Amino acid sequence: MAKFKILIIEDELVHLSVMKAKLEFEGYEVLAAKDGEEGFNMIKSEKPALVLLDIILPKMDGFVVLEKIKAEKIEIPVIVVSNSGQPVEIDRALKAGARGYLVKAEFNPADVLEKVKEVLGDSSSQKNVAAAPDPVAMPGGSNTGADADGKHGAKNRILIVEDDKFLRDLIVQKLKREGFVTYEAIDGEEGLKIAGEQHPDLMLLDLILPSLDGFEVLRQLKNAADTSKIPVIVLSNLGQKEDMDRAISGGAEAFMVKAHFTPGEIITKIREVLAKKY
């Protein structure tokens, strides 16, 4: 039985699903709200032991939620989890009553868990050690000794072109656990440079990137003789049919919308594409 109930107020579905999976695996009961108004109502009705609160939210932002908690003298600790790392915003959140502040671009799910345990004073292990593998830490299943392509031989090399540090670190961490060799790029130009130098077995490509966007990266990659054969899986927040059609017609093997897939499903798709191409 879960020891503590935690409410996550977060409208970015990728971050929400990752934090929720990690906390549930550790034995916490997790509730979720996707806007500030719904979140504040759940704080009052569900009385969680702790709240993980984004700042930029629909209907009611995180600062207003903090102010209402304080005004109504609700004694529930809040940890802010935000895209902004500006000192003025951190200071404002802490003065409004937040017990901690994590910047999304600078942490991974283990950091969230550590801060949750710190605030709750929960040093005990809540999960059953014989339980199934952590769905966040080992999303594609355990590595049984075979290399990443399922055969004994050279390990598959994956290039991740993604400017969201949280998601990039998460995917890299999971790929490494599965035996893949990884390369990382935070913008389109760097992605093309690494692709030309390292010739990875597959590229995982975001579309919204600094310098060159993903569509231009895909165009240049496929037009260059030495990189044209590298298979590409697009992983993007864009989900419009025209974006998907444009990426596939540009040479991508698959298109995955970030909010619709877990890290484990992303790795499953990587394996499928590798098996088909090699």
What does the pLDDT look like over 14-32, one tens digit per residue?
788 888 888 888 889 999 9
Examine the fold and report which residue of 120, 148, 166 is the final residue of a domain before the chain moves on.
Answer: 120
3-state secondary structure the chain: CCCCEEEEECCCHHHHHHHHHHHHHCCCEEEEECCHHHHHHHHHHHCCCEEEECCCCCCCCHHHHHHHHHHCCCCCCEEEEECCCCHHHHHHHHHCCCCEEEEHHHCCHHHHHHHHHHHHCCCCCCCCCCCCCCCCCCCCCCCCCCCCCCCCCCCCEEEEECCCHHHHHHHHHHHHHCCCEEEEECCHHHHHHHHHHHCCCEEEECCCCCCCCHHHHHHHHHHCCCCCCCCEEEEECCCCHHHHHHHHHCCCCEEEEHHHCCHHHHHHHHHHHHHHHC
pLDDT of residue 128: 41
Are 88 and 185 members of one domain?
no
Are 111 and 167 members of one domain?
no
Indicate if the pLDDT at residue 189 is higher than 90: yes
Are 106 and 171 members of one domain?
no
pLDDT of residue 148: 54
Render pLDDT for 71-114 as a digit per residue (tens, 0 to 9). 999 999 999 988 776 778 888 888 889 998 888 766 667 778 88
What average pLDDT is seen over the chain? 83
Domain ranges, residue 181: 157-277
Are 161 and 225 members of one domain?
yes
Are 20 and 116 members of one domain?
yes
Higher pLDDT, 42 or 163: 42
Examine the fold and report which residue of 70, 98, 120 is the final residue of a domain before the chain moves on.
Answer: 120
Are 161 and 265 members of one domain?
yes
Domain membership of residue 130 (yes or no) is no
* pTM of this prediction exceeds 0.85: no
Domain membership of residue 12 (yes or no) is yes
Domain membership of residue 93 (yes or no) is yes
Number of domains comprising the chain = 2
Domain membership of residue 246 (yes or no) is yes
Domain membership of residue 128 (yes or no) is no
Q: What is the CATH number of the domain that holds 29?
A: 3.40.50.2300
Are 116 and 161 members of one domain?
no
What confidence tier does 143 reach under pLDDT thresholds 50, 70, 90? very low
Render pLDDT for 212-233 as a digit per residue (tens, 0 to 9). 999 999 999 999 999 999 999 9
Domain membership of residue 233 (yes or no) is yes
Q: What is the mean pLDDT of residues 144-166?
A: 67
Examine the fold and report which residue of 120, 142, 176 is the final residue of a domain before the chain moves on.
Answer: 120
Indicate if the pLDDT at residue 125 is higher than 50: no
pLDDT of residue 132: 40
Are 18 and 90 members of one domain?
yes
